[in-house]
Structure 1
Amino acid sequence: MGSSVIKKTGIGLTGILIVLVGIGAYVYFIQRGYIEPELNREISSAALQQKVDVYRDGYGIPHIFGESLEDVYFAVGYTMAEERLTQVELIRRTAKGELAEIFGPKLVDYDKWSRSRAYTQEELSTMIAGLHDNPRKAFLAMVKGLNHYIQEAVDHPDEKRPIEFDFLGIELQPFTPEDILSGITLILRKFGSSGGTELTNQAFLQALVERYGNDTAQLIFDDILPLADPDAHAIADDSKRTRLHQSSNAVSMSRTQLSATALAASAEFREQTLASVDVVSQFGISQGASRTIVIGPERSATGNPLILQGTADGREIHIKTPEFEFAGLTVPPMGIPLQGKNMHIGTVVTTGERDTIDIFALQTDPDNPNRYRYRGQWHDMELRTETINVKGAEPVSFELATTVHGRVILRDQENNTAYAQRWAMWMEEANVWASALEILNVQSADDLAENLNSGFAANSNLSYADKNGHIGFRHTGNLPIRSPGADPRLPANGDGSQDWLGMTPHSENPGLRNPGKGFIHAWNNTPASGITYGDGSRWGKHFRTHLPLELIAGKNKISIADLKAFNRTISASFYSVDLSLTSPAFFAPYLKAAAARMEDPQAKQAVQLMLEWNGLFLDKDGDGYYDHPGAILFRTWLPTALETVFSDDIDDWWRKLDDDVYIPYQTSLLLRALEGKQAGNPMQFDYFNGQDPADLIAQSVSATVKQLHERFESDDLTSWLEPVYWRYMVREDMRDGEKHTFNPKRSTRYGGGAVKLRYLPKAFIDNGAPDWLSIMEITPEKPYYLSAIPSGGQSWFINTGWKASPHINDQQTLHEALEFKTVHLDEETILKEHQTHLVIRPVID
């Protein structure tokens, strides 16, 4: 499959670029405006048992009141379609591998990749049928509500049909329950699974063996891809630090070999996966930056638990029945506001980042590559043909094979080997949706613990606080128990000898409740000390949690105003944007030692400026440049130092291996090398090759100065000020953008046409924050929360007359300024201050 094609077209998908090409020629001649909302209206449906009321507040957030969960979820689906139908449609096509049907041949390879991981229609139907009665009814009602709006859009296209459908040439079609579950599967895998990079690691190991031989290759492999790093801060931190001797803890390595052809195919598969992740992110689904601070009552200035959360973008909803209530953020098409609160408890989530995807190497029959050896017998692969409809071209058919371990993702014909991918959450996504729905109904920390013990297959770190003052966190997910001797970093033997032995009981997953320190901090960090990393994310000493921990330690009692200040400071670190960044203080001893032997005054000054910088990207004087030259110096020095220390020994693998995972390890890799025997996991190979580390650090500083001198063309280092970073709404606009960006992948992933129609700015100053920001106080006396999102507002809707929802852009500047809106949850305030009221009535025969 041609990954380079996907790489190019994936970027071009943002903002529905094909739509915008059509829009661009006319945008200057269009009379823009906002849709005048109907203050009161009614609709009816035979799907309802009793009346549902939907009150939208001043920011368009629907507050949905009904007598049953089934009726309320009809309205959840209906309001989702009102606001984000284009997004739901594109997520459906992304999940099911149907993008080439509207975007053309350039997306065929993506669709192939997607279908190699997707469920069949039968598998999706089986999961839905297996749901318990109440969640199944709610789920099906949500789909019915979505389809009710679609029928309205068919009947009244001028008012209800999103303009993007016209420009993409998509006919409005109802969603099946399987369509929605496929989209939910995409979301849950994006945020609740990690791993599957064993083939890249295998290629790295083979390159080491070829250069160094087996023994030294083993040492370097363990250094660069450690199974653990005791210096990493854990959420459930027991404050114990023990030195790890990697050689005695390393798992016995698989010696599976990839042929030259398979190595090339593996590299292409890797590029395909990276590019495909980029495609997925273009429609408002972006992983990253979820951070949580939960303050217990003893540390809270109000005496009540407080929560500060930052996470991905989405829409907000408030749902309420006589037995059920919750409000907060949901990511379409999930429809469950798992990040939020009710009158009793607040819950927030960060991704768990544990290794929950494995690749198995299976011996295939030389005479029949569709047969594989398992438990001493030959088995036939299950084969099926997939056909992709392609806009402007003939359909493309290809074959998919399935084994006992999952779908085949790569074949090595020369070695008679097939590689299959296994997911710990396989066939569990519908149950995860149902479990999330049950979580919203808990009343206390005890209820939540009981619920989570029964199983929540998505890998996450779920933090909580309840009205009784309890705070805590639970690491969730199906976590495989691997066979002794299997190296989780490399392909497992698929012959049955290294099968998974089951899943860790959910009650034994790491957790923490009412810690003595009076707070919990989670920022995608390791859940507990002693966790085996596998081939997923790796954490080290440098990781970004140090900054929030310092801020919390500096306050005895923490108020909501303090949390707002914490949010500003943490955002200014840009740790949510670049996870390899850290404080210069970690490297102070080694930079000072290097400076002591420098003769170049500019290099010495560079070290001084880096160490003077506080690690925050601040423009206090508003001149459009960050205030301190240490910002650009340190940010440039880090990769330069890594290149200087590691590239002569392992080429660019230190960078390449990090590209495959969400949590990069490279900065801690450098720190471990410099710390030597003082590191919690000391290096076994000398990456300084007998030289004094201070000499190499001095070289890297000199190279940094030379690089930046060419850019700034000034001998005055204090004038080397970085222009402030801008964040684009749409990735495509960054190609020829005039604005300076921190990260070429840093956009809001806005998936509609509002930018080209000038309802939203092309770019705005990047504040370094995650997307949805929220502050909650957990007490019945405070029935509200604070929040903001960056990608415009609650709704993405623009009708075929080019008129937009008034809530398409009413939060962007709020988020840019790191300010918050108030979302009221008490019925009295909602009824008093609502902007529109929709009544959904049952059809009476």
Structure 2
Amino acid sequence: MSYTSYFQIIVTCVVIPLLAMGCGEEVDTVDSDEQLMSLARASISQIEGELSLEGLQEPVEVIRDRHGIPHIYAQNTDDLFFAQGYVMAQDRLWQMELWRRWREGRLAEIFGPEAFDYDARTRLMMYRGPFDEREWTSYHAEGERIFTAYANGVNAYIDTHADNLPVEFKLTGIQPGRWTKETVVRRWTGLFFPSAGNDAGDEIRLARSVAELGVEEANRRAAPLPWDDLVVPEGLDVTIVHEDIVAAMRKGEGDPLVPGRLPQLELVEPYTGLVPPDRQAEAPTEEQLLEIGSNNWAVSGALSITGQVMVVNDPHRRLENPSLRYYSHLNAPGWNVIGASEPPFVGVTAGHNDRVAWGYTFAGVDVNDVYVEELHPEQPDMVRWQGGWEPLRVITEEIPVKGEEPRVVVLKYSRHGPVFYEDPDNGVVYAVRSITHEPGTAPYLGCFRMAQAESAEDFFERAMFWKVPTHNLVFGDVEGNIAFQVSALTPDREGWNGRLPVPGDGRYEWQGFREDLPREYNPQRGWVGTANNDSHPPDYTGRPVMFHSSRGVEYSRIERMKQLLQPNRKYTVDDHKRIQLDAYSLRAEADIPSFQGWTSDDAEVERARALVADWNGVLDRDSAGAAVWYRWRGEAEAAAYEPETPADERRPLVEAGLRKTVDRLKGELGEDWSQWRYGRLQKSPFTHLLSDAFSLPAVERSGGFGTIAATSVSFRHILDTEDWDRSVFIITPGQSGQPGSPYYGSLLETWGSDEYLQLAFSREAVEALAGHRLTLSPR
């Protein structure tokens, strides 16, 4: 049964009218699920016919294809982005509301005190302006106009659906907030920056390591790549950098919207009995949160069966329901671009226009620095600066908290940035300077300039406006050019490298921002590609812009990519599919010989050993050998798989690890070894934050961390510049975030089967694939 059919059956059942249910009355699970789905279906947005809206200048046509992608045809820029805002709100308003509250530090208002730390951290670290011309024009010459139109479109949906909002709003009584152009560019910096290398947390940890081990040993263990001789900045006392700082940094960090991190939202009458506490959405495991790893590559015509460029991308982050990403097609005079976007879902962040295609992976550029600010001995809000003293800026704010009086937070800032830790005993405070406090650094919104690129060479210049996140961009054009560019607003540190905290007295200041970022253009090998690896090209002569680590960091994906993208081959779209879905593990290839050439006296251990010894190294969801090896990697001592371990010492470690593995798998998968499948350990969950009734079935997956087919892929696409309509994509679990919609979870089965769908671009292809047609008309 398809996942779409699963929901259709539920919502077409005869249900008990909601208002007939006594307030707080307990109902059985089947009845409550049926009632929830009935309520959800009654809240579905209109996606067929005609709607009249205030704020439009001319009619806009929205054709949703059978995959749920809206193709928006407008006659001017304002209407185009107004319509995108309206359409996004139709499909994702609940997700957008939670995102807005997170970015504004207003989660505790609905979740209660458990969300306070997240709000306090957001308030401290958020960008506070100025929202001026520098901010808006960094994204696009018409950035202010675009974001205003988008916000107006979101608000138009809210206004016209005040009496029939999506089901989550009905159940909780939460009212969606108004959007402004400032909402669209909201951002804050994390101390553990997900796309950056050597973030603030890394600096503090390395400083502690230096204090404990000394400079040389700490640097050897850090194993920077490219190699760098570590130098302790003059004036930094590493002995005062203590563990409490790291603990304080973690407070309020991370994504609060991961299921299980915040309490169940309360339901209002008459729905209070529909979601009992034991049916709250299940939290993902740490393994599921870590199974990530993005890939991108572009091949020239010399390696393509068509003789033209193909661009391939599959970014990986946490799998969510609704999806982190959303596909849309924007068409108006000056605009014709299709692809995926991320919250707040404006524009297209990875895709193609008529002439250029592009994709991204996280690069790991170092864009944060920790400053240790010396406090005045008698005036605790004064810090040293260039031989004198200057005051910290202090802001006092109230944070609304559900069920309590508002809590007051005191936020402090040095000239470098937010003060995240105060240590009066040692006479210092710790502040962080981040590029996200610079104008024009809202994540992904550099995409607007790239959406209008005419060629790969033109793209180079436009890519410099893609400031956050730090990305490896690969791109190609219809003229046959391919290229790669590291993109980030990259601090210029003259005479120091940012790997350790630095004194804030003026000796270690940014000297502007660098333009000599790594890039390649039409390399002789015929392809460019990245996989979150050290992406400095071999001939790069500038100072490193990132420091990865050669110890304990996974580079198997880029090595496997090099194996599969061979010269003198002609690759088809289907070939690129196979590469994206490649589940062969180079780590397993290195480990398998350790399971061969010996036997164990323990019958169960011997059976497990043989499964791995005879296994082909492919993390196939139906493989028992893959299941045993995967769990063994977590149960065995590290020396069992480290290459430096002598063979005679390795075998007993391998055997001991197998004994633990068998015991664990029997607990996880049962006593019947015929049911041991890798996919049972690699289930991708699609839980709904509010109610498990809206959750989608978990999917057993092949691949995993260290393979190109890393499991947490929210979308894949392969873009064919020779014929854009031959491009293919998949997104999971579906385009709509509204339970009961025909596009809610509609692509999960396709994604779970490793299949792709046409990414229609020409008007003819869109018409042939049309599923629903909506006209938005001026009122």
Give the AA of the match of 1:163: V
Report the CA distance between 1:55 and its aligned residue.
1.5
Q: State whether structure 2 residue 128 is matched by structure 1 residue 115.
A: no
Aligned counterpart in structure 1 of residue 700 of structure 2, from 765, 772, 793: 765
**Could you say which residue in structure 2 is the equivalent of 1:225?**
222
Aligned residue for 2:572?
559
| 1:49 aligned counterpart, secondary structure | coil
Match for 1:756: what amino acid?
A: A
Q: CA deviation at 1:747?
A: 4.0
* Residue 750 of structure 1, CA deviation: 5.2
Report the Cα offset of residue 169 of structure 1. 2.7
Q: Which amino acid aligns with 1:823?
A: L
Q: Write the distance in 1 (CA, Å) between the matches of 2:231 and 2:342.
A: 38
Question: What is the match of residue 676 of structure 2?
Answer: 723
TM-score by length of 2: 0.81
Query: More helix per residue: 1 or 2?
Result: 1
Q: Which moved more, 1:696-705 or 1:62-71?
A: 696-705
Matches of 2:233 and 2:676, distance apart in 1: 47
Shift of 1:376: 1.2
What is the one-letter code of the residue matched to 1:308? V
Superposed, which structure 2 residues align to 1:646-685 within 5 Å?
670=642, 674=644
Deviations 1:222-266, CA, capped at 9 Å, x for gaps: 12212225xxxxxxxxxxxxxx6x6xx333456744778953243
Aligned AA for 1:417? Answer: V
Residue identity over aligned pairs, in percent, reads 23
Instruction: Spell out, residue by residue over 1:61-116, the C-alpha distance to the aligned partner (whole angstroms, 9 max, x if none).
Output: 11111222222011111111000001111001111211110011111112112222
Task: Give yes or no for the alignment of 1:177 onto 2:181.
Answer: yes
SS, match of residue 225 in structure 2: coil
Please give the alpha-carbon distance, in whole angstroms, between the structure 1 residues aligned to 2:93 and 2:148: 17
- Corresponding residue to 2:500 among 464, 467, 490: 490
CA distance in 2, matches of 1:501, 1:538: 29
Q: In 2, Cα distance between the equivalents of 1:305 and 1:281?
A: 44
Whole-angstrom CA distance in 2 between matches of 1:404 and 1:195: 19
Please give the residue correspondences for 1:365-404 in structure 2 after superposition, counting only pairs within 5 Å. Answer: 365-404=376-415
What secondary structure, in the 3-state scheme, does the structure 2 residue paired with 1:550 have? helix
Question: What amino acid is aligned across from residue 725 of structure 2 in structure 1?
Answer: P
Give the letter for the 2:102 counterpart.
T
1:500 equivalenced with 2:453 (yes/no): no
For residues 375-402 of structure 1, give each alpha carbon's deviation from its aligned partner in whole angstroms, at most 9, with x where no partner exists: 1110100000121111111211110101
Aligned counterpart, 1:679? none
C-alpha spacing 1:527/1:436, structure 2 compared with 1 (3 Å): same
Q: CA deviation at 1:537?
A: 6.4
User: Does residue 309 in structure 1 map to residue 313 in structure 2?
Assistant: yes
Q: Partner of 1:392: helix, strand, or coil?
A: coil
Alpha-carbon distance between aligned partners in 2 of 1:398 and 1:701, rounded to the nearest angstrom:
53
Q: Does the 8 Å contact 1:752/1:796 carry over to 2? A: no
Corresponding position of 2:49: 40
1:814 aligns with 2:740: no
Give, in whole Å, the separation in 2 of the partners of 1:515 and 1:383.
52
Matches of 1:391 and 1:764, distance apart in 2: 36
Unaligned runs of 5+ in 2: 1-23, 263-282, 317-323, 704-710
Query: Is 1:490–1:535's contact at 8 Å kept on the other side of the alignment?
Result: no
Hey, what's the Cα distance between the residues in 1 that align with 2:490 and 2:655? 46
In structure 2, relative to structure 1, the CA distance for the partners of 1:126 and 1:445 (3 Å cut) is: closer
Q: Which amino acid aligns with 2:86?
A: Y
Distance 1:191 1:748 in 2: 24
Match of 1:512 among 512, 520, 540: 520
Letter in 1 for 2:488: G
Equivalent position of 1:648 in the other structure: none
Q: 1:502 is aligned with what amino acid?
A: G
Following superposition, the deviation at residue 552 of structure 1 comes to 2.3
**Counterpart mapping for 1:397-436 below 5 A:** 397-429=408-440, 435-436=446-447
Name the structure 1 match of 2:488: 477
Matching residue of 1:97: 105
Aligned equivalents of 1:200 and 1:184: distance in 2?
20
In the superposition, relative to structure 1, how do residues 751 and 340 fare at CA in structure 2: closer, same or farther (>3 Å)? farther
Q: 1:393 to 1:337 in 2, by over 3 A?
A: same
Distance 1:519 1:537 in 2: 25
**Structure 1 letter corresponding to 2:154:** L
- The CA distance in 2 between the partners of 1:416 and 1:31, in whole Å, is 57
Cα shift at 1:816 = 0.4
Aligned partners of 1:60 and 1:22: how far apart in 2? 34
Verify the 8 A CA contact 2:355 2:721 in the aligned structure 1: yes
| Pair 1:27-2:32 in alignment | yes
SS in 2 for 1:405: coil
Structure 1 residue corresponding to 2:59, chosen from 51, 59, 73: 51
Question: Which of residues 263, 277, 282 in structure 1 aligns to 2:243?
Answer: 263
Partner deviation per Cα, 1:290-339 (whole Å, 9 max, x = no partner): 21132221111222222332125411110112322100101121412121
> Does structure 1 retain, via aligned residues, the 8 Å contact 2:441–2:468?
no
Structure 1 segment 316-327 matched on structure 2, within 5 A: 316-327=327-338
Gap change, CA 1:487 and 1:359, over 3 Å in 2:
same
Corresponding residue of 2:728: 786
Q: Could you say which residue in structure 1 is the equivalent of 2:653? A: 700
Aligned partner of residue 512 in structure 2, secondary structure: coil
1:201 matched to 2:197: no
Report the AA paired with residue 761 of structure 1.
L
Q: Does 1:776 find its partner at 2:719? A: yes
The aligned amino acid for 1:27 is S
Counterpart residue type for residue 289 of structure 1: G
Summarize deviations over 1:807-828 as a string: whole Å, max 9, x none: 1021010100011121211112
Q: Would the aligned equivalents of 2:62 and 2:70 in 1 still touch at CA under 8 Å? A: yes
Aligned to 1:687: none
* 1:681-703 deviation digits (Å, cap 9, x = unpaired): xxxxxxxxxxx744553453233
Find the residue that maps to 2:348 and give its secondary structure: coil
Residues 259, 415 of structure 1: 8 Å contact kept? no
Give the SS at the match of 1:102. helix
Please state whether the residue corresponding to 1:813 is helix, strand or coil.
helix
**CA distance 1:832–1:487, change in 2 (3 Å):** closer
- Separation in structure 2 between the aligned mates of residue 610 and residue 725 of structure 1, nearest angstrom: 12
Partner Cα separation in structure 1 for residue 748 and residue 607 of structure 2? 40
Deviations 1:640-665 (A, max 9, x none): 343x59xxxxxxxxxxxxxxxxxxxx
**Residue 475 (structure 2) aligned to one of 461, 464, 475:** 464
Specify the SS of the correspondent of 2:200: coil
Q: TM-score scaled to structure 1, two decimals? A: 0.75
Counterpart Cα distance in 1 of 2:189 and 2:424: 32
Q: Secondary structure at the match of 2:142?
A: helix
TM-aligned CA distance change 1:722 to 1:119, over 3 Å: farther
Q: Counterparts of 2:197 and 2:123 in 1: how far apart (Å)?
A: 17
- Pairwise mapping of residues 431-450 of structure 1 onto structure 2 (< 5 A)? 435-450=446-461
- 8 Å CA contact retained: 1:483, 1:500: yes
Question: 1:662 — aligned with what?
Answer: none
What secondary structure, in the 3-state scheme, does the structure 2 residue paired with 1:764 have? strand
Secondary structure of residue in 2 paired with 1:337: coil
1:795 alignment counterpart: 736
Once the 2 structures are TM-superposed, how far is the Cα of residue 790 of structure 1 from its aligned partner?
A: 2.0
Deviates more, 1:495-504 or 1:833-842: 833-842
User: 1:654 matched to which residue of 2?
Assistant: none
Seen in structure 2, the aligned counterparts of structure 1 residues 761 and 600 have a Cα distance that, compared at 3 Å, is closer
Which amino acid counterpart does residue 743 of structure 2 have in structure 1? H
Q: Summarize the Cα distance change of 1:818–1:828 in structure 2 as closer, same or farther, 3 Å threshold.
A: same
Deviation for aligned residue 1:205: 1.4
Alpha-carbon distance in 1 for matches of 2:770, 2:690: 26
- The verdict on how the C-alpha distance between 1:253 and 1:128 changes in structure 2, with shifts beyond 3 A counting, is closer
Q: Which of 620, 628, 637 is matched with 1:632 structurally? A: 628
Query: Which is further off, 254-263 or 444-453?
Result: 254-263
| Residue matched to 2:619 | 617
8 Å CA contact 2:148, 2:180 repeated in 1:
no
> Aligned pair in 2 of structure 1 residues 203, 36: CA closer, same or farther (>3 Å)?
closer
Uncovered stretches (5+) of structure 1, i.e. residues with no partner: 1-18, 210-216, 230-243, 574-581, 620-624, 646-666, 675-691, 727-739, 799-803
CA distance in 1, matches of 2:132, 2:309: 42
C-alpha distance 375-748 of structure 1, shift in aligned 2 (>3 A) = farther
**Is 2:585 aligned against 1:584?**
no
Contact 1:254 1:490 in 2 (8 A): no
